Amino acid sequence: MMDYNDILKEIYEEVKPLLGKGRLADYIPALSCVDSNSLGIAIVSVDGEVCKVGDAETNFSVQSISKVYTLAMAFAEHGVGLWDYVGKEPSGNPFNSLIQLEHEQGIPRNPFINAGALVITDKVLSLYKKPKNAILDYVRKVADNEDIYFDKEVARSEKDEASRNLALAHFMQSFGNIQNDVDRLIDVYCHHCALSMNCVDLAKSFLFLANHGENPFNGDKLLSRSQAKRLNALMLTCGCYDESGDFAFRVGLPGKSGVGGGVVAIIPGELAIAVWSPELNEYGNSLVGVEALEHFTTKVDKSIF
């Protein structure tokens, strides 16, 4: 891989003045305790080379980025049948919106809004006796790091404030689109959102998507080429909720964000890049993270277009 260390340092200095312009997620109380000035970036190439800057090895809460792992797990098992339960259209609404669900008979627009991710987590619950272990196992393998855990404090904090996600799950259950006990579902969902990882882990963990579905660390074929293409397409069109169009416009890569302030993107066949800066913009995406990714694709003149 080309040496991106100098470019990362440049980007770091360019975006740093934006710190202080966003807002920490506070609807999950434990997320409001992080240092809002944190900023890290890591790039990992498909052959495992790492470039990084700033707080790239400080752990944080990955939140919705975890929806990519559960989707990959469920998609590998269900194949095209999965799309009977969840759509593949951008929603144009905030990530935790209830608005479309009644019109659309309990079938969420896509697997990355909370409603869709709950349907996917429900599938993971049906597939595995110990779903939390299965998810942890999967993430440790794709990130090539046995030392990844759920942050129990963050999981508990989200479960204490889960009325909205409980409402989404119960509502979809009334349409027959949730099979498992809702409290168990929310418990597993809050745990996978509470995965504690850093930028290097995150970039590594997305390499299988940059590598046509194959985990470059152990050769496991996790998704077919076609499934990897589809999952990447969903990240491009839905990965940043109602800011996905703007993200595609500015960054030009498939990517996924979380309210912990992480955002990961991939260049197919080449690399994954993860940024962490916990302050969010009005759409719940990392304000500095999106900016840093825009600087990156502009500077290196690469995108999927």
Q: Write down the H helix ranges in 49-193.
A: 66-78, 99-103, 114-127, 131-143, 152-160, 163-174, 182-193
In the complex with ligand GLN, the residue whose CB is nearer, 259 or 271, is: 259
Binding residue (CB under 6 A) for ligand GLN from 70, 121, 165, 237: 165
Contact call for residue 111 and ligand GLN (CB under 6 A): no
Q: Are 255 and 240 in contact (CB under 8 A)?
A: yes
Q: Are 131 and 189 in contact (CB under 8 A)?
A: no
Write the CA distances from 169 to 25, 64, 128, 164, 193, integer angstroms: 22, 16, 19, 9, 16
Q: CB of residue 267 vs ligand GLN: minimum separation in angstroms?
A: 23
Q: 34, 45, 67, 119: which is the annotated catalytic residue?
A: 67
What phi-psi label fits residue 278: left (phi over 0), alpha (psi between -120 and 50 degrees) or beta? alpha
Q: CB of residue 23 vs ligand GLN: minimum separation in angstroms?
A: 14
- Catalytic (active site) residue 259: yes
Residues pairing with 14 in the sheet: none
From CA 168, how far away is CA 248, in angstroms rounded?
28
In the complex with ligand GLN, the residue whose CB is nearer, 205 or 215, is: 205
Contact call for residue 95 and ligand GLN (CB under 6 A): yes
In the complex with ligand GLN, the residue whose CB is nearer, 196 or 215, is: 196
The set of residues, in sequence order, having a beta carbon less than 8 Å from that of 161 and lying 6+ positions away, is 27, 28, 29
Q: 45, 61, 64, 257: which is the annotated catalytic residue?
A: 64
The set of residues, in sequence order, having a beta carbon less than 8 Å from that of 3 and lying 6+ positions away, is 51
Mutual angle of helices 5-15 and 287-300, in 10-degree steps = 140
Contact call for residue 259 and ligand GLN (CB under 6 A): yes
Q: CB of residue 301 vs ligand GLN: minimum separation in angstroms?
A: 30
- Catalytic (active site) residue 67: yes
Contact call for residue 284 and ligand GLN (CB under 6 A): yes
Q: 12, 189, 204, 263: which is the annotated catalytic residue?
A: 189
Residues in contact with ligand GLN, shown as a per-residue x/- string from 174 to 213 under the rule CB under 6 A = -------------------x--------------------
In the complex with ligand GLN, the residue whose CB is nearer, 73 or 271, is: 73
- Catalytic (active site) residue 64: yes
Question: Rule CB under 6 A: which of 43-72 touch ligand GLN?
Answer: 63-64
In the complex with ligand GLN, the residue whose CB is nearer, 45 or 285, is: 285
Q: Are 238 and 90 in contact (CB under 8 A)?
A: yes
Residue 62 exposed, middle or buried by CB count within 10 Å (0-12, 13-18, 19+): buried
- Catalytic (active site) residue 85: no
Q: Which residues are catalytic?
A: 64, 67, 189, 241, 259
**Which residues are near ligand GLN by CB under 6 A?**
63-64, 95-96, 114, 158, 165, 193, 258-259, 284
